[in-house]
Amino acid sequence: MDNSIKIWNTSSSRRLIGHSAPIASVAFSPDGKRIASGSWDHTVIIWDAFTGAMVGKPYKGHEHRVTCVAFIPDSRCVASASLDRTVQLWDTENGDAVWTINQAAFIHYVTSSPDGRRIFGASLDQTVRVWDAATGVPIGQPFKGHTGSVICVAFSPLENRVVSGSMDGSIRLWDTVTGQSSKTFLGHGGAVTSVAFSRDGKHIVSGSVDQAIRIWETDSGEAVGFPFTGHTGSITSVIFSPNESDIVSSSIDGSIKWWRAYPFVGHQGSINSIAFSLNGKRVVTGSDDMTIRVWDAETGEAVGKPLKGHTSPVLSVAYSPYQEHVVSGSGSVDRTIRGDRTVRIWNVETGEAIGKPLKGHKDAVNSVAFSPDGECVASGSGDRTIRLWNAKSGEALGEVLTGHQSSVFSVAYSPNGKRLLSASWDGSILAWDIVGAETSTVFGKPLCGHVSQVSSIAYSPDGTRVVLGSENGVVQLWDIETGHAIGEPLEGHRLPVTCVAFSPDGTRMVSGSEDQTIQEWDAVTGGPIGTSMESHGGKILSIAISPDGKQMVSGSQTGHIEVWDIVKSRGSLSAGWRRRSFCVRTIDTR
C-alpha cells in the first residue's frame, strides 16, 4: 500500500498522490469527470479524472478510517462510510458535509439508487439500510435475512431491486419496496466481498474471499458457467465492463484482471462434436442448432459467423490437417424425421460451404473424419454403412463399406492413413484397408463385460492401440494388430460413455459421459488418474485434447463448452486438468 491512486488506460497509468494512509475505496463520478477516494487517513478527496489534480481540499469529518465512497447519480454529491460508524454526504462543489448519520454498527459499503433519491448501506449488524439522500433520514425498516455482516450492496438498473453480499457466504436479492428478500444465491466458499449488476439487470457478478468470481442469472438465481479463478488472494471488487462482455476484478494479491464474461457463447443447442485445429489455436463445434462455429481457443470468442446450411442437427465435425477446411455430418437421431443426412465441407476463412452437400447416406451422419493427408473424408451413418469421399471434388470413392449390423457411431483414421476404424451400436469394431476398401481385420465380440453398444473410438498417436467408449459406461483399450483387448475394462462412469480421446503423447486417455463427468486414464496401466472432473451441468457429448496436450475442450447437452488447462504439480511430473477461466489480461498494481 503506497497511499496512492492509479488511473489506467491500455497503454499507461497516472499516479494520484494526496492521502497519507492506505486508500480503501475509489469511485468515478457518473459523468466520468471526477474521482472520489476514501482513505484510512479519515479523509475523502475529489480528483479531476483528466488532469489528476486534487479538486479543493480533503473532506475532513470522519474520526476513523473511511471504508467506502460512492457518487450520487448527478455527480454533485458523494457519500462516504467510516469505521467511526457514520455515513456522510458531501457537496462536491464546496466540500461541505450535507448531513451525517450516526449508526450503532459501522457501514461497510454504500451505494445510491439510480434516481439518486436513496442511499443503501451494507451494515455490520447483518442488515441492509436505506436513507433518504436529501435528508439522511432512514426509510423503512432495515432489510433482514443475512446471518453474517453485510459487506457489499449494489442497485439494479431496474430500480426496484438491490443485491447484497455477506460474511455468511450468501448473496441476497431484495425488493426495495417491501424490504423482503426474494432470492438467495449460494455457491461461494467464503464471505462475498463485492457484487454488481449488469447494465440490463439480467446478471449479477460476485467476488469472494474464496478467490473466485461468479456470474448469476438474476431471475433464476442460477450460476452461469463456472467460477473464474486466477487470483491468489481475496477478491476486493468486481464489475461488468460497459459492453458487458468482460468482467474486471481486483484482489488483495495486488492485481487487476480482465475476464471474458461469457466465453464460447453462441450455440442454442447441445454441443454434439468438438475438435481442435492442428495448431491448437482454433476449436470447431457442431450443435443441435444446425450450425457449426469456429472459436478462438485462447479467448473463447467466436471467429466469424456461424456456418449454416444443414437442416438437421450437426452430429460431427472435424478439422482438415491444413486447418483451412472443416467437415460436418448431419441428421436426425429420430428416425421418424428424415433430416438432411448429408456431409458438408466448409472453408473456414470465408464461412462458405465448398461445393454441394455430399449425399448418399440414407440415415443420419453420426461421424466424420479427415484422412491425415486431408485428401479424403470418411463418414459413418445410422444406415449401417461407411462412405469415403474426395475432400476436394466431393465425389464418392470406391464402394460403400458394409459389415455392421446397426448404426455406425464413430469413425477414425489411423495416423498413417492406411486404415479406418468404425464402431457400431451392434458392439463391433471393424478395421478397413483404405486402399482396397476391404475388411482387413474384424475385432471379435467385446471382452470382459464390454458387451454394449460402442459409441466412440480413438486411435493412439502411434497407431498401435484404440480406445473405445460404450453404452454400459465402460472404457476399453485394444491392440490394433491382434484385435484383442488390453487389460480389464476401465470402469468408473455411472452412465454411458459418449466420447474418448488420447493425449498427443499416447500416455493418457480421457473419456466423457452422460453422468456429466470426465475421467482421465493411464494408457499404460489402465488405471484412473485422479478423481473424475465434474462439468457442464449436463451430459458430456464431446471431448478433444489440443495437439500440444496442454488444453482439453468438452461440449455438453446444455450447450456449454469448457476449456481445461493441464496443471503440473510443482516438483512433480504428475499433472491434472483445471477448468480454464478466460482472463483477457492482468495488471500488477503493486
Q: What CATH number is given to the structural domain containing 90?
A: 2.120.10.30
pLDDT at 442 over 60: no
pLDDT at 274 over 50: yes
Q: Is 67 a domain residue?
A: yes
Give me the pLDDT at residue 589, please: 55
Q: Is 176 a domain residue?
A: no
Q: How confident is the model at residue 584 (pLDDT cuts 50, 70, 90)?
A: low
pLDDT at 582 over 90: no
Percent of the chain scored above 70 by pLDDT?
Answer: 90
Q: Cβ(91)–Cβ(75) under 8 Å?
A: no
Same domain? 268 vs 410: yes
Give me the pLDDT at residue 450, please: 44
Q: What is the pLDDT of residues 492-541, one digit of tens each?
A: 999 999 999 999 999 999 999 999 999 999 998 888 988 888 765 689 99
Q: Can you tell me the distance from the alpha carbon of 164 to that of 146, in angstroms, rounded to the nearest whole number?
A: 9
Q: Cβ(519)–Cβ(528) under 8 Å?
A: yes
Same domain? 399 vs 461: no
Domain count, the chain: 3
Query: Among the three residues 102, 132, 152, which one is the final residue of a domain in this structure?
Result: 102
Domain at 471, CATH number: 2.130.10.10
Q: How confident is the model at residue 572 (pLDDT cuts 50, 70, 90)?
A: very low
pLDDT at 7 over 70: no
Q: Can you tell me the distance from the alpha carbon of 445 to that of 427, in angstroms, rounded to the nearest whole number?
A: 7
Give me the pLDDT at residue 10, please: 53
Query: Which residues lie below 8 Å from residue 495, measured CB to CB, with a gap of 6+?
Result: 473, 513, 514, 515, 539
Average pLDDT over residues 54-59: 94
| C-alpha cell at position 547 | 495437439
Q: How confident is the model at residue 451 (pLDDT cuts 50, 70, 90)?
A: low
Same domain? 447 vs 408: no
Give me the pLDDT at residue 147, please: 98
Average pLDDT over residues 244-265: 85
Q: How confident is the model at residue 339 (pLDDT cuts 50, 70, 90)?
A: confident
| Biggest CA-to-CA distance, the chain | 91
Give me the pLDDT at residue 335, please: 66
Distance of CA 231 to CAs 259, 324, 330, Å? 11, 37, 42
Q: How confident is the model at residue 444 (pLDDT cuts 50, 70, 90)?
A: very low
pLDDT at 11 over 60: no
Q: Is 400 a domain residue?
A: yes
Q: Can you tell me the distance from the alpha carbon of 456 to that of 582, in angstroms, rounded to the nearest whole number?
A: 29
DSSP state of 75: S
Same domain? 280 vs 404: yes
More confident residue, 429 or 192: 192
Give me the pLDDT at residue 573, please: 41
Percent of the chain scored above 90 by pLDDT?
Answer: 68
Q: How confident is the model at residue 413 (pLDDT cuts 50, 70, 90)?
A: very high
DSSP E strands in 252-384: the ranges are 255-260, 271-276, 282-287, 291-296, 307-308, 314-319, 325-330, 343-347, 365-370, 376-381
Q: Is 233 a domain residue?
A: no
Give me the pLDDT at residue 241, please: 86
More confident residue, 256 or 102: 102
pLDDT at 571 over 60: no
pLDDT at 84 over 80: yes
Q: How confident is the model at residue 485 (pLDDT cuts 50, 70, 90)?
A: confident
Query: Among the three residues 415, 434, 460, which one is the final residue of a domain in this structure?
Result: 415
Q: Can you tell me the distance from the alpha carbon of 245 to that of 85, in angstroms, rounded to the nearest whole number?
A: 37
Q: Of the candidates 387, 410, 392, which has an alpha carbon nearest to the alpha carbon of residue 378?
A: 387
pLDDT at 109 over 90: yes
Q: Cβ(227)–Cβ(215) under 8 Å?
A: no
Radius of gyration of the chain (CA): 29
Same domain? 402 vs 491: no
Q: Is 537 a domain residue?
A: yes
Q: Starting at the edge strand that comes first in sequence, how are the strands of the sheet with 34-39 ordered?
A: 23-28, 34-39, 43-48, 59-60
The lowest-confidence range among 165-169, 284-288, 531-535 is: 531-535
Same domain? 496 vs 549: yes
Give me the pLDDT at residue 520, please: 93
Average pLDDT, the chain: 89
Give me the pLDDT at residue 35, please: 93
Q: Can you tell me the distance from the alpha carbon of 405 to that of 386, in angstroms, rounded to the nearest whole number?
A: 12
Query: Which residues lie below 8 Å from residue 147, measured CB to CB, with a gap of 6+?
Result: 126, 166, 168
Q: Can you tell me the distance from the alpha carbon of 63 to that of 43, in angstroms, rounded to the nearest whole number?
A: 9
Q: Is 430 a domain residue?
A: no
Same domain? 272 vs 401: yes
Q: Starting at the edge strand that comes first in sequence, how are the strands of the sheet with 561-568 ordered?
A: 540-545, 551-556, 561-568, 575-579
Give me the pLDDT at residue 437, please: 44
Q: Is 237 a domain residue?
A: no
Q: Can you tell me the distance from the alpha carbon of 443 to that of 453, in angstroms, rounded to the nearest whole number?
A: 14
Same domain? 519 vs 384: no
Same domain? 455 vs 347: no
The 10 Å Cβ neighbour count of residue 111 is 21
Q: Is 579 a domain residue?
A: no
Same domain? 382 vs 471: no
Query: Among the three residues 54, 73, 102, which one is the final residue of a domain in this structure?
Result: 102
pLDDT at 543 over 60: yes
Q: How confident is the model at residue 1 (pLDDT cuts 50, 70, 90)?
A: low
Same domain? 268 vs 399: yes
- Say what the pTM is: 0.73
Q: Can you tell me the distance from the alpha carbon of 131 to that of 87, in angstroms, rounded to the nearest whole number?
A: 10
Q: What is the pLDDT of residues 229-248, one digit of tens each?
A: 889 999 999 999 887 788 99
DSSP for 427-459 reads S-EEEEETTTTEEEEE--SPPTT--S-EEEEEE
Full residue range of the structural domain in which residue 316 is found = 263-415
| C-alpha cell at position 312 | 438437421
Q: Cβ(165)–Cβ(151) under 8 Å?
A: yes
Same domain? 381 vs 500: no
pLDDT at 570 over 50: no
